[in-house]
Amino acid sequence: MPARRFFVRDAHRAGEVVAIYGSDAHKIVNVLRLRDGDVIEVVDSHGSIFAATLESKAGELQARLGEPRSAPSPRVVIDVAQGIPKGQKMDFVVEKLGELRVRALIPLRSERTIVADVGSAKLERWRRLAHSAAQQSGRTDLLAVTEPLPFAQLCLQFPEYDAVIFPWELAEPQPLREALPAIVADATRILVVVGPEGGFSHAEAESAKAAGAHLVSLGSRILRTETAALAAVAILGYELRL
């Protein structure tokens, strides 16, 4: 991970000037001790990477973008729908899925979701954590944290994926090692759907299956909700040689 790589919001073009704030500005000025005219790398939310020249204006740090060199688009895209857990547990999920190569995290409202409402402050916090996780792991695109989605609506999105993997502790206990190759063969868009603390109901598992999901077991032990997605994505990474 280049020490001089910084992420900014939105999509940008060569010639634009972007403002750099907060801890990024602090790092540039006080830690890296860079000055006007020095060059950093700026990554926008579409994953374009720009060489950018620092210039400050009225005490605010800015960077003027040069020509972008696009990041190669990933061979396989993995999205995760995560049953919204209680308290701060989603922080862990965001952080770990941000380090792994998950494209989007969809906070999922299902029958046994306890959290009534995800406020905008919480969404903002998750998006900030995704930002630091990307910086930490050297990925050029950010983990996108989408607006929360109800279970039924998520099922309607299954056709957008080549494979939908639905870890369910009550699924037939076939080892994933055996089941996975056929499920993900030739898949380039994969969705993993994980339940909240209380898991999914039988009715939900049935409707997911009817909508095309593969119900799979992650082994004989019950994993905590915040462990399940991490385990599933790590296993997928192995299988798909990511």
Q: Which residues bind to ligand SAH, rule: CB under 6 A?
A: 167-169, 194-195, 198-200, 217-219, 221-223, 225, 228
Q: Closest separation between CB of residue 225 and ligand SAH, Å?
A: 4
CA distances for 143 relative to 34, 53, 78, 127, angstroms: 28, 26, 10, 8
Q: Which residue has the tokens 């990307």?
A: 134
Nearer to ligand SAH, 32 or 222 (CB): 222
How many whole angstroms separate alpha carbon 95 and alpha carbon 179? 28
Q: Closest separation between CB of residue 169 and ligand SAH, Å?
A: 4
How many whole angstroms separate alpha carbon 18 and alpha carbon 99? 25
Give strand ranges (E) for 58-170: 60-70, 77-83, 102-109, 144-145, 149-150, 163-167
185 closest CA partner among 207, 214, 163: 163
Nearer to ligand SAH, 39 or 223 (CB): 223
Q: Closest separation between CB of residue 164 and ligand SAH, Å?
A: 13
CA distances for 108 relative to 19, 31, 61, 148, angstroms: 33, 39, 38, 6
Nearer to ligand SAH, 40 or 229 (CB): 229
In degrees and rounded to multiples of 5, residue 83 shows phi and psi of: -50, 125
Q: Closest separation between CB of residue 198 and ligand SAH, Å?
A: 5
Nearer to ligand SAH, 43 or 176 (CB): 176
Q: Closest separation between CB of residue 167 and ligand SAH, Å?
A: 3
How many residues in the chain? 242
Nearer to ligand SAH, 40 or 164 (CB): 164
- Cβ atoms 171, 213 nearer than 8 A: no
Nearer to ligand SAH, 161 or 168 (CB): 168
